């Protein structure tokens, strides 16, 4: 088939290039630079575009975790459910790093609250790592590392300490960084990155796929 966007099922379809069969991997692991305005789900009741529109048409492909519609940055995609479970279950505590531009310049007390954990309506957050990257006129840039995945967590934490988010980008998940991937672009994770993610989630040997 030569039609762009044609879906291929590795378990049922045979793919050839110049008459030679191509062995397709059972699972795929991708990094996407999510732009603002896209939802991290397959469909949206409000008609907003899904991040899957930006990725290859692969059966079973889904976001590994979520970013809210206004947040940009690194979003992993895979068709491996075990991989997704390992990376998103709270007990595995895979680090997620964000760059946040916030209103005002947080002082020591606000930073200390974030690092101890902030009381939100769904309970106190786990301690975060926070670094003041720079400060400007009426705003500051923070690097925030969390190990949870609550809905709009970083935004809610910063609002709770009096410094609402003006822009938010996720720059890393575990050992995988956003790097110079442009908004809307997608790339395959390297085997080393996949192994590193699984190791960060506590999988001995960092082996992907079902066993």
Query: Domain limits of the chain?
Result: 26-90+174-200, 95-173
DSSP string, 45-94: TT-PPBGGGGS---TT-EEES---TT-EEEEEEES-HHHHHHHHSGGG--
pLDDT above 70: residue 148: yes
Question: CA 67 to CA 98: how far, in whole Å?
Answer: 11
Contacts of 111 (CB under 8 A, 6+ apart): 130, 132
The tens digit of pLDDT for each residue in 60-77 reads 999 999 999 999 999 999
> Domain 95-173 is of which CATH architecture?
2-Layer Sandwich (3.30)
pLDDT above 90: residue 21: no
Top-tier CATH class for 26-90+174-200: alpha beta
CA neighbor of 38 nearest in space, from 71, 12, 3, 62: 71
Question: CA 133 to CA 103: how far, in whole Å?
Answer: 14
Question: CA 203 to CA 38: how far, in whole Å?
Answer: 31
Phi/psi of residue 54, nearest 5 degrees: -90, -5
Query: Predicted confidence band at 171 (pLDDT cuts at 50, 70, 90)?
Result: very high
CA neighbor of 24 nearest in space, from 34, 14, 35, 36: 14
The tens digit of pLDDT for each residue in 73-122 reads 999 999 999 999 999 988 888 999 999 999 999 999 999 999 999 999 99
Sign of CA pseudo-dihedral 121, 144, 193, 15: positive
Q: Which pLDDT value is given to residue 204?
A: 54
Asked if 44 is an active-site residue, the reply is no
Greatest pairwise CA separation for the chain in angstroms? 66
Which entry of 68, 80, 82, 122 is annotated as an active-site residue?
68
Q: Which pLDDT value is given to residue 89?
A: 85
Q: Which pLDDT value is given to residue 211?
A: 44
- Give the strand pairing for 165-173 and 72-78: parallel
Q: What is the mean pLDDT of residues 47-70?
A: 94
Q: Are 26-90+174-200 and 95-173 equal in CATH topology?
A: yes
């Amino acid at each position: 088939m030569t039609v762009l966007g044609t879906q291929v099922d590795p378990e049922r379809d045979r793919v050839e290039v110049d008459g030679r069969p191509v062995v397709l991997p059972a699972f795929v692991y991708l990094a996407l630079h999510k732009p603002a305005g896209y939802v991290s789900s397959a469909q949206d009741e409000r008609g907003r575009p899904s991040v899957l529109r930006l990725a290859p048409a692969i059966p079973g492909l889904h976001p590994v975790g979520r970013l809210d519609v206004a947040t940009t940055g690194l979003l992993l995609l895979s068709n491996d459910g075990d991989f997704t479970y390992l990376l998103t279950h709270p007990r595995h505590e895979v680090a997620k790093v964000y760059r946040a531009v916030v209103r005002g310049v947080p002082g020591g007390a606000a930073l200390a609250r974030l690092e101890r954990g902030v009381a939100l309506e769904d309970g106190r957050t786990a301690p975060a790592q926070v670094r003041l990257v720079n400060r400007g006129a009426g705003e500051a840039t923070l690097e925030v590392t969390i190990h949870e995945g609550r809905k709009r967590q970083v935004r809610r934490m910063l609002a709770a300490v009096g410094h609402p988010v003006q822009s938010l980008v996720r720059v890393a998940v575990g050992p995988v960084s956003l790097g110079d991937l442009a908004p809307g672009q997608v790339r395959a994770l390297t085997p080393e990155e996949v192994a590193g993610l699984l190791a960060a989630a506590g999988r001995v040997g960092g082996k992907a796929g079902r066993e």
